[in-house]
Amino acid sequence: MCSKKMVSFISIGNELISGDVIDTNSQYFTQLCQTNNITISSKKIILDDLTDIENTIEYELQHNNAIVISGGLGATSDDKTRFAVANVCNVNLKFNKSNWEDIKNKLAKFQINIHRANKKLSLFPEGSELIQNHNGLAYGFTININNKNIYVLPGPPKEAESMFKTFVLDDLIKNGFKNYRNFYTYKMLGVIETDIAYDIDKVINSFDISADYKWNYPYVDIKLNFENNSERINQIDEYIKNKYEENLISTSNITAFQQLQNTLNSISETIYIHDKLTQGIFANKIVNEKIKFINDNLDDYDYEYEGYFVCFEGLLEYHQKKTSISSTQLSSKIFKSGQYVLSDHISIPYRGEEAMDFAVEYVSKELLKILKENAE
């Protein structure tokens, strides 16, 4: 595997530790980095404590090529980030007159009193470059130490997200943090994470291909990362798609239910559903004139409907409110104009209330088979 530059995120604030405020900044930063193939090594939340901030910055600098810090840039006594960064970089804080004039103008515009404490906002480590804040008072800054970049942004998400997107992201890419690797993704339903990981890891062993597995119930999301010239990626992709054809829902992050919603209008015939599986839950989630739910008792299974008829059954333990079981069954039978088309039956781990989430996706998956057949 080729070497790659890595980034760490540090979120600072007592309110983040206490849970009074949720750290959405690092989530936003991570999503943008992943989209741009920038590798994230860690995310940390720490207190507004000068020693803790300094120690965390020093540690992350030892293990990463860049650090993005959000929080602790305000004018109150608990905002210590700029002091910690200056100490770690062994430089002094310098007052920026131009920035102070900008802050005073903003305060005057909103008729907010100007206090001496506000001058703290215009202190920046010597040698740093300012990052303009169009949505608030506190500018951010970036500074380089031993060829490693530190980016410091304010805590409020509206400010931090904009500054990250318009400055930090571009600067990371300009400084070579983007990894020019490709990836394939697979969203699987009805597989066990450890089982499929064991199988795929054996196939990609000894090649410049890495795999990430994420359990996102009821799905297992798989991502294969590889160089453009990986010699076996096409064969491996074909192997996965063939072996797990019944489980593969999409090669993106789209669920079966989302696909069904997006494509249902493409079918020309009505689908009649007798849903003994979710018993109304699926019906409440999807509304479309092409789907008709049959609520009559069909003990003798009168399938003489013009068009498609699907019967879903299972989750008996769920409906009987049983708890001390390890697995449960889901099944479907599809008919067209009274003629049998196909059926499916699977056993899944029983996870209480979450089993219904699986059932909704299973129903969507089976209905997608009808759409595929209809398209052909």
DSSP 3-state of 97: helix
How far is Cα 88 from Cα 145, in angstroms, rounded to an integer?
A: 9
How far is Cα 274 from Cα 301, in angstroms, rounded to an integer?
A: 10
CB of 185 within 8 A of CB of 249?
no
**Which residues of the chain form beta strands (DSSP E)?**
6-12, 39-46, 66-70, 93-95, 123-125, 129-131, 140-145, 148-153, 182-189, 209-216, 219-226, 248-250, 271-275, 291-293, 308-314, 327-336, 339-349
The tens digit of pLDDT for each residue in 317-336 reads 899 888 778 899 999 999 98
How far is Cα 343 from Cα 332, in angstroms, rounded to an integer?
A: 5
pLDDT at 245 over 80: yes
DSSP 3-state of 231: coil
CB of 136 within 8 A of CB of 75?
no
The tens digit of pLDDT for each residue in 42-74 reads 999 999 999 999 999 999 999 999 999 999 999
pTM of the model: 0.68
How far is Cα 194 from Cα 227, in angstroms, rounded to an integer?
A: 25
Residue 71 is predicted with a pLDDT of 96
* More confidently predicted of 95 and 2: 95
How far is Cα 68 from Cα 43, in angstroms, rounded to an integer?
A: 10
How crowded is residue 90: how many other Cβ atoms within 10 Å of its Cβ?
9
The 3-class secondary structure across 42-62, one letter per residue, is EEEEECCCHHHHHHHHHHHHH
CB of 360 within 8 A of CB of 315?
no
pLDDT at 206 over 80: no
* More confidently predicted of 4 and 144: 144
CB of 60 within 8 A of CB of 42?
yes
CATH numbers and ranges of domains, the chain = 6-174 (3.40.980.10), 182-252 (3.30.70.2860), 257-375 (3.40.50)
Question: What's the token pair of residue 219?
Answer: 């799905």
pLDDT at 37 over 60: yes
Please say whether the dihedral angle defined by the alpha carbons of residues 28, 356, 313 and 287, taken in this order, is positive or negative: negative
- Among residues 121, 13, 16, 140, the alpha carbon closest in space to that of 67 is found at 140
pLDDT at 1 over 50: no
pLDDT at 217 over 80: yes
- Among residues 113, 102, 55, the alpha carbon closest in space to that of 80 is found at 55
pLDDT at 109 over 60: yes
The tens digit of pLDDT for each residue in 359-370 reads 999 999 999 988
pLDDT at 27 over 80: yes
For 115, phi then psi, to 5°, come to -110, 155
Which helix (H) or strand (E) is 41 found in, with range?
strand 39-46
